[in-house]
Amino acid sequence: MYYQVFKYVLLGPGLKMVYRPWAEGLDNIPDKGPAILASNHLSFSDSIFLPLVMTRKLVFLGKADYFNGRGLKGAATRAFMAGVGTIPVNRGGGRASEAALRTGLQVLANGDLLGIYPEGTRSPDGRLYKGKTGVARLAIESGVPVIPVAMIDTHIAQPIGKRIPTRHQTGVKVGEPLDFSDYAGRQEDREALREVTDTVMAAIQDLSGQEYVDRDGVQYKKELDRELKGEWEGELGD
C-alpha cells in the first residue's frame, strides 16, 4: 500500500513531469509471476527511475545501513527506501551474503519481481564492470527468468556524490528474458555460475552500449580510493 502511494501520489507524478523518463521493451516484463531484473548501475537514482516506468512493483535488496539512521534524517531515509520497494539486508561475505540470497529467493517464491545490480556497486566511470555471481545463483536456484535492463544517462542526471538529480532526461531499456533452466541443480558449480553471469552481463551491454571492463567494480573503486588518498596525503607532505 505504501509503495503505491509513494509511487503514484507522493513522488512519481512529479518525477515523471520533471525528468520525462522514457522506456523501451516494457512488454518483456511479465504481467504476473516471478522474474529477476538484472540492471547496470550508474546512479543512486536507478532504483527510482526503473520502478517509475513499470506497472508492477519491483523489490530491491538494499543495505541495512539505509534503515538504521537516527533522527529526522534517518526516518526520512527509511520512509524513502520503503517507498521505493527496498528490503534491508546485511551485506558482506559469508553468512550475510547467504542471508541476502535467501531473502531474494523468498521474494521470488512470493511471485514478485526482484531487482538486482550484478556489478555490486555503482560504476565509477560509466563503464560496465564484471558481474558478481549472485544473480546466477538466484536464477539457477529459483528457476525464474532473468530480464536484462539498461539504465540510460542516470549518471548524468545524478553523478556519484550529487544528492538531487539535475533535470536531464533518463531512459530504461528492457531486454528479452533469459532462460537458464538448462543449468538446474548447478547453483554450487563455479563454472556454471560464471557462465550464467557473463551471459547476463553481455545482454546488459548489448542494451546499454557501455564499454565492458573485465574486472571487479567494487575492488576497482577501492583501488581508486587508495590512490586518491595517497595523492591527498602526498599534497599534505609537500
Domain coordinates in residue numbering, the chain = 2-237
pLDDT reported for residue 196: 98
pLDDT reported for residue 67: 60
pLDDT reported for residue 156: 76
Q: Is the pTM of this model over 0.75?
A: yes
Among 62, 59, 61, 78, which Cα is nearest to 70's? 78
Q: Locate 161 and state its grid cell.
A: 556524490
Q: Locate 10 and state its grid cell.
A: 507522493
pLDDT reported for residue 232: 42
CATH of domain 2-237: 3.40.1130.10
pLDDT reported for residue 236: 44
Quickly list DSSP for 55-77: SS-EEEEEEGGGG---HHHHHHH
pLDDT reported for residue 153: 86
Among 146, 50, 151, which Cα is nearest to 104's? 146
Continuous segment of H or E residues that includes residue 142: helix 134-142
Rounded Cα distance between 218 and 130, Å, is 10
Q: Residue 150's CB: how many other CB atoms inside 10 A?
A: 23
Rounded Cα distance between 38 and 200, Å, is 8
End-to-end CA distance of the chain: 58
Which is it for strands 58-63 and 113-116: parallel, antiparallel or unpaired?
A: parallel
DSSP structural state of residue 154: H
pLDDT along the chain (238 residues), means of 10: 50 64 95 97 88 91 65 62 64 67 93 94 93 95 98 79 69 97 96 98 98 92 73 45
Rounded Cα distance between 73 and 79, Å, is 10
Q: Locate 14 and state its grid cell.
A: 512529479
Among 89, 188, 183, 119, which Cα is nearest to 145's? 183
Q: Locate 183 and state its grid cell.
A: 543449468
Rounded Cα distance between 131 and 174, Å, is 18
Asked if 163 and 195 count as a contact pair (C-beta separation under 8 A), the reply is: no
